[in-house]
Amino acid sequence: MLLSRVREERSLQAAGTRQRATPNGCATISRVKNRGPAGLDSASASAVEEEATKPEKMIVCIAVVGHQNNPLYIQSFTEADDALKLHHIVHCSLDVVDERVNNPKKSGPLLNETFLGLLYPTENYKVYGYLTNTKVKFILVTTDLDVKDADVRNFFRRFHAAYVDAVSNPFHVPGKKITSRTFAERVSTIVKAFGLSSAG
């Protein structure tokens, strides 16, 4: 009876693998494969394994977009070669941002809120937005299923600080891409810190 149950699970997962053979799917596929033989023990053991093997990188991509929707900085953190897909996701999320900005929610205190929150969830990703007073937008794409709101806000706060320092460089031309190496390093530090704090 246990064996048949496992066979059922395996077929479901195989179907799921095909669906999830997207950029981050590398991790997912290997996880499913592992579950195959291990699942022979018991269904509960495989469930535990799922919780133990979380996705390695939570944040897939961050982007800074200027007030004329011109890209100022895009950085992806996956090994896979899906820059185009991420650019597309960021681009789509800009529409959502514009919509939110032009039609503010009726609830009063949110009118001058910089943190836009979850913009839209796709099949694997969640996209968060943040708007500065100068209409510069920060877009965060993450693969995680369970991200705390406070963590994302914290992330954006630190990211905003790094952005302000990068823009204060007298050699930075406003409206042009950010070429500062220090900024890139700080951003990777913040991204790593985000991954570690959420995984705990």
Partner 1 sequence: MWNLHLKNAELFTLTYGAIVRQLLTDLEDVEEVNKQLDQMGYNIGTRLIDEFLAKANISRCVDFKETAEMIAKVGFKMFLGVTASVTNWDIEGTCCNMVLEENPLVDFVELPDTCQGLYYCNVLCGVIRGALEMVSMKTEVTWVRDVLRGDDSYELQVKLLKQVPEEYPYKDDE
Q: Which residues in this chain contact partner 1 in the complex, by CB under 8 A? A: 165-166, 168-171, 179-182
Q: How far is the CB of 170 from partner 1 (least distance, A)?
A: 3
Q: E strands within the chain?
A: 59-65, 71-76, 115-121, 126-131, 137-142
Q: How far is the CB of 161 from partner 1 (least distance, A)?
A: 12
Q: Is 129 helix (H, G, I), strand (E, B) or coil?
A: strand
CB-nearer residue toward partner 1: 12 or 164: 164
CB-nearer residue toward partner 1: 38 or 184: 184
Q: How far is the CB of 61 from partner 1 (least distance, A)?
A: 24
Tokens of 30: 């290997």
Query: Looking up tokens 């099949």, which residue turns up?
Result: 123
Q: Do residues 75 and 162 lie in contact, with contact meaning Cβ atoms separated by under 8 Å?
A: no
CB-nearer residue toward partner 1: 180 or 198: 180
CB-nearer residue toward partner 1: 104 or 174: 174
Q: How far is the CB of 163 from partner 1 (least distance, A)?
A: 12
Q: How far is the C-alpha of 86 from the C-alpha of 101, rounded, in Å?
A: 22
Residues 6+ apart with CB under 8 A from 170: none
Residue type at 101 in one-letter notation: V
Q: How far is the CB of 99 from partner 1 (least distance, A)?
A: 34
CB-nearer residue toward partner 1: 106 or 181: 181
Q: Any idea what the Cα angle at residue 165 is, between residues 71 and 67, rounded to 5°?
A: 30
| Residues forming beta bridges with residue 194, ordered by sequence position | none
